[in-house]
Structure 1
Amino acid sequence: MPLTGTTNTAANTALRYLNANSAQAGSSLAKLSSGSRIVKASDDAASLAVGTKIRADVSALRQAAVNTAQASSLLQVADGGLAKIADILLRMKSLAVQAQSGSITDSERNFLDLEYQELISEVGDISGQTKFNGAQLLNGASGKSIDLSAATDSLFNPDSTHANGIAARLSGNAAVGTWQLAYDYTAGSSLGQFTLSNGTISDTVQFTHASNAVVHEGRISFEHAGLELALSNFDFSTTFAAGTQSQLEVAGGETLSFQVGVASGDTITINIDDVRPASLGLTGTSVGTTGSSVTAGDALDAAISELNAARANMGAMMSRFEFAAANLATSVENLDAARSTLLDVDMAAEMTRFTSLQILTQAGVSMLAQANQMPQNLLRLLQ
């Protein structure tokens, strides 16, 4: 390149390339130092936006995994309490059977009743004292519960969940409020049905029965409504007329809701059954006489069945949280891989580029020094 007057065009060109190569080497060095492919938004604005969103999701999912582990721990605590209550109910059943023996008198039955009543109290203590981080788990306060105090007709007794051989329990996420229950059958046919509704949700379950409409044992599950009826030696034909209706209240709130995902709706709600003596139908029972022992035995059968259902529900929720935890771990792994592809620098490729830019920078420095020597040739013309 010729020299024009006092302007060193070659030096300007060498300086331009030196500055460009030096800037690229600096950018490459920043990426290698940070480990990120995108140091500033201009490097790749679209990938930066997507990668940042994924990073936020990964952070949320990791916390959701912690929430899931805490939920599992809470359920294990609750299940431990239920297991002890189950042991107590088995002992109480033994006492009720023993009290029905004709080889003992009411005097001995009163001795058995002393233990029986203490065990009822212990069931109440366990249901009230089983807690996780201060929250009571087994008294109905940690979820929803069935309240039959509003029942005014024959399907439910206002004072007991086990009156007339029928009990109600939660089997899912039932809505809080009043539910209307209707039973109907066609006389002389083998078809009957229950209908449960709250004004918004209506769930009907049909079943077959004998011509006299007798249903002795079984469970009728309203999956859509999230409720279940437990029938024990129940006789509709002699107790209820077709078209009989009643109502029950689902009380409480979703106090144990766990966030297990990114979106606000990604939650799992835990509903733990109320297992206090009154809810199990044990309040007022005794084994002090033969008659009361028979009644207590029937109540214990229903209580044991209800407790088994509560533990089954607990086990189902524990299993769900285990799978939720596994899914979260998989999601975090896959999202981390996607984020890495978008944001993480390829160390080998970037190091190769940085080395190349270092060579060009060093060459630029050398060539700039050479270009700065070129005006010396022009000065010789003045000699």
Structure 2
Amino acid sequence: MAVVINSNPAAAYAAANLLKSNNLLQKSLSRLSSGSRISEPADDAGGNAVSMKLAAEIKRTEAVAINLSNALSFLQTQGGVMKSASATLDRLSELAVLTGDVTKSPADLSNYSVEFDNLFAELGKLSSDSFNSINLFTEPKTDLTVHLSQDGSQSMKISQSSLVGAVSAVNSIAAVSGANMSIVTDAMQSLATMMADNGAQASRLQFALDSLGVNRVSLEAANSRIYDVDVATETTKLARANLLVQSGASMLSQANTVSQLALKLLQ
């Protein structure tokens, strides 16, 4: 190779290799420091687009899971109130039977009636209970729509049952005593049906919530395979790039000394 002054091809080639190695080193450092395989869109344009959509879907799935949990809490609260109403109806039916005791004096019967009236008033209070200002029961019955999927394509309805409608006929001890006991049993049957609906809806919500959890895990795994860095692989690349940078810097330093030979020849 000729000894020249105006150019140094060896140094230029060494500098180009050093720049390339340094870029690889910086990319590995960026990936390892962020934990992301895609530190910038140019690293994987298509993968980055898919990852963005998966990340958004994961967020929506988590939001739907929160909504379902709240709806399940609504039904559980409603079910608890129905259970209290059922216990109250049981006592009302018991009082109605006790009034048929021929050994009871009018004063005793009056005491039963006072308790009956108070318990019926309690049923009225129960029917006005709410969950976060949302009525547990309405008159007439209405439905609330709950979306089960993050894209809104699947939904179900949960009931704001009519507790008043179920128990309104049981309004006095005289109205349900003796041959009219069927009024109480009919009310109990209506309430039992409402509780069955409540349990069925709560069961479906729980299964839907479990399904969302499985789906979210699968989405996170898919997104991780696209977006997250493989630390073992990337540390190997980092070591290689680090070695290339050091050797490139050393070779560039030596290549820059080649032109010194021309000066020695001119002395």
What TM-score results when the alignment is normalised by the length of structure 1? 0.65
Query: Greater relative contact order (Cα 8 A, min sep 6): structure 1 or 2?
Result: 2
Q: 1:132 & 1:352 partners in 2: Cα distance? A: 56
Q: 1:288 & 1:111 partners in 2: Cα distance? A: 13
Structure 1 segments unaligned to the other structure (5+ residues): 146-251
Pairing 1:348-359 to 2, within 5 Å after superposition = 348-359=232-243
Task: Specify the code of the residue in structure 2 equivalent to 1:23.
Answer: N
User: What is the count of residue pairs matched by the alignment?
Assistant: 267
Query: Aligned residue for 1:115?
Result: 115
SS at match of 2:151: coil
Query: Aligned residue for 2:66?
Result: 66
Contact 1:96 1:296 in 2 (8 A): no
2:83 is the counterpart of 1:89 = no
2:212 is the counterpart of 1:324 = no
Q: Kindly provide the CA deviation profile for residues 20-59 of structure 1, in whole angstroms up to 9, marking residues without a partner as x.
A: 1111111111111111011111111111111111111112
Contact 2:21 2:241 in 1 (8 A): yes
Q: 2:231 & 2:250 partners in 1: Cα distance? A: 28
2:173 is the counterpart of 1:287 = yes
Of all paired residues, the percent bearing the same amino acid is 30
Query: Aligned residue for 2:246?
Result: 362
Task: Specify the code of the residue in structure 2 equivalent to 1:380.
Answer: K
1:257 to 145, 148, 153: 145
Point out the more displaced range, 43-52 or 97-106.
97-106
CA apart distance, 1:14: 0.7
Query: Aligned residue for 1:380?
Result: 264
Structure 2 segments unaligned to the other structure (5+ residues): none
Q: 1:16 & 1:275 partners in 2: Cα distance? A: 81
Query: Aligned residue for 1:135?
Result: 134
Q: 2:2 & 2:241 partners in 1: Cα distance? A: 28
Task: Specify the code of the residue in structure 2 equivalent to 1:123.
Answer: L
Pairing 1:4-15 to 2, within 5 Å after superposition = 4-15=4-15
SS at match of 2:52: helix
Query: Aligned residue for 1:272?
Result: 160
After superposition, the Cα gap between the structure-2 partners of 1:287 and 1:364, relative to the gap in structure 1 and judged at 3 Å, is same
Task: Specify the code of the residue in structure 2 equivalent to 1:288.
Answer: A
Task: Specify the code of the residue in structure 2 equivalent to 1:257.
Answer: T
Contact 1:272 1:314 in 2 (8 A): no
CA apart distance, 1:333: 1.2
Q: 1:323 & 1:53 partners in 2: Cα distance? A: 26
CA apart distance, 1:125: 0.9
Pairing 1:1-383 to 2, within 5 Å after superposition = 2-104=2-104, 108-128=108-128, 130-140=129-139, 145=141, 252=142, 254=143, 256-276=144-164, 279-283=165-169, 285-288=171-174, 293-294=177-178, 296-383=180-267
Point out the more displaced range, 46-55 or 69-78.
69-78
SS at match of 1:6: coil
SS at match of 2:166: coil
CA RMSD, Structure 1 to Structure 2 (Å): 2.2
Contact 1:3 1:9 in 2 (8 A): no
After superposition, the Cα gap between the structure-2 partners of 1:359 and 1:328, relative to the gap in structure 1 and judged at 3 Å, is same
SS at match of 2:150: coil
CA apart distance, 1:2: 4.1
Q: 2:234 & 2:13 partners in 1: Cα distance? A: 26
SS at match of 2:90: helix
After superposition, the Cα gap between the structure-2 partners of 1:97 and 1:20, relative to the gap in structure 1 and judged at 3 Å, is same
Q: 1:98 & 1:293 partners in 2: Cα distance? A: 9
Contact 1:260 1:268 in 2 (8 A): yes
Q: 2:54 & 2:191 partners in 1: Cα distance? A: 44
Q: 1:341 & 1:82 partners in 2: Cα distance? A: 48
CA apart distance, 1:288: 3.0
Contact 1:109 1:287 in 2 (8 A): no
Structure richer in helix, relative to its length: 2
Q: 1:315 & 1:281 partners in 2: Cα distance? A: 20
Structure 1 segments (4+ residues) deviating >6 Å: none
What TM-score results when the alignment is normalised by the length of structure 2? 0.91
Task: Specify the code of the residue in structure 1 equivalent to 2:155.
Answer: T
CA apart distance, 1:94: 1.1
Contact 2:10 2:255 in 1 (8 A): yes
SS at match of 1:381: helix
